[in-house]
Structure 1
């Protein structure tokens, strides 16, 4: 299962069925779970823990030292869940002690070619990073998010669940749950209603979110006033997710 031209450090811990292609380097402190395939010309450094059934394609760099000039070689980590696809030439870096010392990636994500996940990021589940999408240090991406090609996210930003950044979009502010953003700088462009329908969200919840978007973005009122109006509506779990993604923002939201 391990090609004779691969280099796997004796201090790495690989499940018995992990496949490793030629000219790949796996360093000490790397753990890789069952069913994972690491193609040729991949570099994985530790401490890094990779779960089950991941596929890592050629020229990816996983678990490398971060690009933060404050980093001085401290022991930091990278954790990756299950069923992710990490495509050609992706770069994913470990954390820094200036944060919590860890970069975390959930399960079921697709990182297309040349995508970048910087130090201390927290990436949830079932996200899609299209070609050349990049997130800077300390960014949090929830779940079921789409970053289109060449999208970029400034450090410390939060990208809410089910949201979407369009082609070439650059954001220095948080993107609330469900919101679509486009441009440089990013501007709101409606909600991802088509994605909601495809996921089978209740029609009433979609109707409520449509009204919530108008309240926040289209009625010319202060954000604080808009939030009060939303909180006065009957409880809806998806609406609450939208509200909380706004209230928890520290950088301000795209608006």
Structure 2
């Protein structure tokens, strides 16, 4: 308990590993569980039910696990689940889920959330994402692994953002953003595919070629989405090494909830 500042308020119903650090004037509520090595900065408020994994760092003035900002919420026992090794900078907010969805807001592992980021109720964020300053996602939004949201990106509720995608600063998304695609603007439009990001993550030349071909099918050949999917299925037969990469795009298109950015 020597790592808990004497001005911090820890509810008797909270469960903190003995290695957790809590800064001055922070408040940890009942139903909060925090794993080993996690650091809570000063002036943070964490409400339960919230489960936080190992080796996370929360900077000052973060509000974590508050009730969802949803008029339909009537006090149901929903929760927030946060994984391991996440960096959460100043003034970030994450709300618990609602009974209208699965009742859980989730943040995966190794994410970097810069200042003033908001994760609304029932959002599901994967791992190794980057949310730049003031990126805001509304309720029920899903964000895939390695996605990067530029500063001041705003995402409409129920939108899905695919793995390895990227948005430019100030982008407004009303439709789903497919994997690998770079988009920007108000409203956002597809600009290219995330070539440099994929190279840094070790994508092979064949995988990069597959992504390039899929981009052309969706955005350069005047095909419907269904026609593009059929072409992608055929592409799997000719680019065997990139079969899983292509399948990732097909699966996303099959489950798109609001139509895709085109």
Q: TM-score, normalised by structure 1?
A: 0.98
Q: TM-score, normalised by structure 2?
A: 0.96
Where do residues 1-255 of structure 1 align in structure 2 (5 Å cutoff)? Answer: 1-233=3-235, 234=237, 235=240, 236-255=243-262
Deviates more, 1:214-223 or 1:141-150: 214-223
Q: What is the Cα-based RMSD across aligned positions, in Å?
A: 0.8
Which sections of structure 2, spanning at least 5 residues, go unmatched? none
Tell me the distance in 1 between the aligned counterparts of 2:257 and 2:137.
Answer: 17
Helix, strand or coil: the match of 2:183? strand
TM superposition shift of 1:16: 0.2
Runs of 4+ in 1 over 4 A off after TM superposition: none
C-alpha distance after superposition, 1:191-235 (max 9, x if no partner): 101111111111011012101111111011222111111111124
TM superposition shift of 1:108: 0.3
Deviates more, 1:114-123 or 1:237-246: 237-246
Which sections of structure 1, spanning at least 5 residues, go unmatched? none
Tell me the distance in 2 between the aligned counterparts of 1:144 and 1:184.
Answer: 23
Aligned length: 255
TM superposition shift of 1:246: 1.4
Tell me the distance in 2 between the aligned counterparts of 1:226 and 1:76.
Answer: 39
C-alpha distance after superposition, 1:121-166 (max 9, x if no partner): 0010000000000100000111000000000111001100000011
TM superposition shift of 1:179: 0.6
TM superposition shift of 1:244: 1.5
TM superposition shift of 1:247: 1.8
